[in-house]
Every structure is written in C-alpha cells, then in structure tokens.
Amino acid sequence: MKNTTLKQKLKNKENTVGSWITIPHQSVIDILAEAGFDWLCIDLEHTAIDYNEVQVLIGFIQARGMAALVRVSKNEEVVIKRVLDSGADGIVVPMICNADEAKQAVEYAKYPPVGKRGVGLNRAQRYGFGFEDYRKWVDDNQVIIAQIEHYEGVNNLETIIETPGIDGVFIGPYDLSSSLGIPGQFNNALVQEALQKFEKICIEKNFSMGYHVIDPEFELVREKSKAGYNFIAFSTDFLFMGRRAFAEMNNLKA
C-alpha cells in the first residue's frame, strides 16, 4: 500500500514531478497515472473534497503506483492525524512561517517520543492488524513538506529546514506574492527577490525544494528543474483539462 521511495528521492534530491488533485474522481487519477506522474497531491485547503473522499482517493493513487500526498487545510492536529490515518504517504502543510510551526507539524504527524500524534487504527494501520509495521514505516518513509507561502517563511527558511522531520520545502507562488501585496505578479522584482533567497538557502543547505508550476506548460517545469527545484507540482487536474478545451474551442470558433 505504501510508496517507500519518495522520501529517499527527496533526501537524494532526485527530480520528482507530481500534480494537484481537486476533482475527487478515480478517472482523473487514472488519467494522470497514465501520463506518468511520480506523485499526486489531494488538496484539502481550497476544494470541497471531504475526508471520506480523501481516503478513497489515496487508495486509488497508491493502487496506480504513485505516492499519495495531501495538502491539509491548515497546520492543525486533527486534520493531519485524519489524513495520515487514512493512509497518506505524506502531507504538505500550508503557510509555515517559522521553525516553531514546522516543529508543530512534525509533532502532529509523528508518534511519541518524536511527536505527539495520537494512536488510531484505520486504513494506514491496516485496521489494527499492522500498527507496529506502520509505526516503523512512519519513521522511515513518511513525507512532511513545509509549504512556504509568506515572505516571513522565506526570511525564516534556514531554521525551518533545520527542523528534524521536515523533508522538503515548497513554494506556493500565489500566496507568496500576496504576502508581498502583489498577488499573482510572479515576475515582480519583490517576488523574484524572495524566490532567489529561497533558492540560495536551499542550494547551500543541499535541501529539497519544491515549486507549484501553475500553468500546464512543460517549459516552465524545465526552467524550475534547471534552477534546482526537485519536487515540482505540475499544474492541476482542472487546468490540464480546461486549457486544452479552451484552446481547441477557440481554434474551432476561429
């Protein structure tokens, strides 16, 4: 059930490309699996996906040989516990701005003595028939990604990545630009300065860094890869579908 390779790839700074799931349907996952993604991330922060759907989607993703990540709605104990007990390979935690918040996310995801996660017996623990195996799996293979979405997170990046248990840091470009008062202006000098600082620290510390490339254009992914990003979210399910539909319909109308 568990994908045991993504954490090692992050540690080795191997390139991985995933995408964002906002449409809770098996067909979407099957199509993206055929395209060859390494992982898929289910978005609980900005969608209407519920917890029951999350568990079903995690199973579909893992059945297709991909790592199943969940972007939780916030850095909060219960939501993190529920998605991990549902069997997620890892979590993306939004709006991490300092080391204390990073440490808090790790504590919510890890069992004592490392963290303070409560013990439940759900899909991840094989409904009580595999808790000890799962506990060891958490230690060796669970992935925790800190999403850096605010300029304070960039300013505190060095201490965030030094937090034990954090496997990678991931830029959310829209919220980062919003924190600077210029939402969506990714090419603005302030955003570029923040990104350059982010990249410089990660490269110097030899730490896995990620980025969400919003537009479904492979050249943009290639640019980020050349810049040193190794954990790249490539667009979203609805943008892959919508952009092609818009383009072809515009061609047809013309």
3-state SS assignment for residue 104: helix
d(CA 128, CA 131): 6
| Chain position carrying tokens 């409904």 | 127
Query: What 8-state DSSP symbol labels residue 147?
Result: E
* Active site members: 46
For 247, the token pair is 């383009």
DSSP string, 188-253: SHHHHHHHHHHHHHHHHHT--EEEEE-S--HHHHHHHHHTT--EEEEEEHHHHHHHHHHHHHHHHH
Give the angle 78-115-97 at the CA atoms, nearest 5°: 70
The closest of 2, 4, 8 to 208, measured between CA atoms, is 8
For 142, the token pair is 């669970």
Rg of the chain over CA atoms, in angstroms?
18
Residue 136 region by backbone torsions, left for phi larger than 0, else alpha for psi between -120 and 50, else beta:
alpha
Which helix (H) or strand (E) element contains residue 68?
A: strand 67-71
CB 232 within 8 A of CB 216: no
